Amino acid sequence: MVSDTYDIVIVGGGTAGLIIAARLSEDPNLQVTVLESGEDQSSNPHVQTPGTWPLLRNGPLDWAFKSSFPSAGGVKPLSMAQGCMLGGTSGINGFVFQPSSKSNLDFWTELGNNGWGFETMDRAVRKAVTIHRPSGGTSEGSGPIQLVVNESEIEAMWVKTWIDSLAELGHSPCDAFSGTQRGPITNFDTVDPVSNNRSFTANAYLDPVRSRANLTILTGSTVNKVVFKEDNVGGTPIADGVLVTSKYGKKSIVKARKEVILSAGVINSPRILELSGIGDKSRLQRLGIDVVVDNPHVGENFQNHAFSGVVFPVRDDVETLDAFLRQEPSAVAAAQETYAAGRGGPIGRSSTLSSAQMPLSEVTDEQGMKEIEQLLKDAASVPAGPSIATPAFKKAWDSYIKSNLTSSTESPGRFMFFAGYSPFEAKDITYRAPGNHFTIVVMLSTPFPRGSVHIESSSHEHSDKNTGMTLDVGFPAHPLDVEILARYIMFAEKTLARLKPFASLLKPRKENEDRFTDIEKAREYVRATTGWSHHFVGTCSMMSQEMGGVVDDKLRVYGCSNLRVCDASIIPVVPRSNPQAVVYGLAEHGAEIIRDTMV
């Protein structure tokens, strides 16, 4: 079997993997290689053009994982998108870049992660980006990833509408990077304002350094497992390299003189660990895999955001994105003109215009808070979904959930605003209603249940496929989650929709037109319409061993001397918003840790 040798072997050329490769290869004395199962799609127009990102889901650039159990309606498995290409999910996602809150990131330190927390992550996230303010304002930072806001007339009008409307509730615009996320936030998108192309790790981090003599990128190379040194009997396992299968079916071993770093994502990183003999002893033995490290927490603690939303009819004379969504020729032509002029629009940006975070105490009454607190007490005595947890972690998790739900400053729910129709109540998700609409999405920022992902076969034939695994992801929503979403949904209709100037843009409402006459109606609506985001984290959590961690705060896999994980799977608790910004930060900080503590 042919083998090549490098100092650093990085498994996965996705969002985190390419950042680590770019940073570590700054040292010309280190030979670094990246092994990516997908291909280089840097020149693919659907990847480059922001508005075509929905076309990338469930296609050849998506691993297209599916949950092993049906959705809340019992109709079909849940879709679990993950990029399969250089750049990974940063090349197929929906662009929104919003750092998490201070309380969320500081909670990491309570789980045993010294040297992390908000201040560390804030510095690391800022290192990754350059922020371009609207209308030719001065840019901030010098990082590879370019951040912009949508400047087209339609989108800018709706952003202003929400800033002015939420001012009626006493909320001022919030800086997304402040750490104290409360009130309206104008969303940044990962788009280059000069080229108008997606800004992601393949073109922002990798392209400028591709010519480095000490950096090797191997695409079409699927890692089956980590290979450990055979002459280290009885000692701490030492990673010797990885077993790789090429796209042509050829197997080889790529050896590592110093470190093997898994950056294969929330599903593939625990899969590789288990195939390598690191995981729950009973599961591995049942599959005939030799146990290298017995750790039952590999693949556990899976978390994700759930969401629902309500749609409001908008006056015919008020512009929305509906005509573009229906692909009406005049609207498509106008969008193309806006994109060509570099002003964003639905082709040039995500069109998830803005968001807002508000404490639960602001969206429900005293009786509602009492009901939430009772559900909290009930939840404390039962497992949080299918994931196992140590007593220490469960105690910390329950305390964290309670603090978020009862806080006067923290927000367990996040509103996202979209100037168009969203098919929450339609049987066909591709349906686009006639007329103009506005959607208020409510995303559950702190979901209660946690799930798990595990291999169900030791065969390497599954390694480049979305098969051979059980993805028990903790869905449908827990009763506590349903209650929180229902309270936010009611607030959206009964309060937000009545704020000026937003209310003045809606079609007049008829008497008794409210969908939610009482909280039970809102609960029924949430149970029927709750969807699933693609914000997966947690399956190789960075926590102390007492808490049930898989890696320590130096990213080392417990029980191994030179094997690390650095991707979204190490995030121990789901971020308050889209996790993209957090992944950029953990990869930047992770690269520094690896460089400073390398064997």
Task: Detail the residues annotated as belonging to a binding site for FAD.
Answer: 89, 93-96, 223, 579-580
> Per the structure block, which two tokens stand in for 165?
């409307």
CB 350 within 8 A of CB 187: yes
Residue 143: what residue type? G
**Nearest Cα residue to 120 out of 133, 106, 134:** 106
Alpha-carbon distances of 551 from 355, 432, 547, 570, rounded to whole Å: 33, 45, 11, 7
Q: What are phi and psi of 342, to 5 degrees?
A: 75, 25
3-state secondary structure of 524: helix
Annotated binding site: 89, 93-96, 223, 579-580
Q: What are phi and psi of 15, to 5 degrees?
A: -60, -55
| Angstrom distance (rounded) from CA 308 to CA 529 | 6
**Nearest Cα residue to 489 out of 552, 553, 439:** 439
3-state secondary structure of 399: helix
Alpha-carbon distances of 532 from 354, 383, 402, 436, 473, rounded to whole Å: 20, 21, 23, 25, 11
CB 536 within 8 A of CB 304: yes
| Angstrom distance (rounded) from CA 168 to CA 358 | 14
Element (H, E) at 132: strand 129-132
| Angstrom distance (rounded) from CA 453 to CA 470 | 6
Strands 239-246 and 145-148: unpaired
DSSP state of 137: P
| Angstrom distance (rounded) from CA 177 to CA 185 | 10
**Nearest Cα residue to 424 out of 405, 397, 442, 399:** 442
CB 143 within 8 A of CB 130: yes
Burial 265-302 (b: 16+ CB within 10 A, else e): bbbbbbbbbbbbbbbbeebbeebebeebbebebbbbbb
| Angstrom distance (rounded) from CA 503 to CA 246 | 57
| Angstrom distance (rounded) from CA 219 to CA 36 | 5
CB 594 within 8 A of CB 586: no
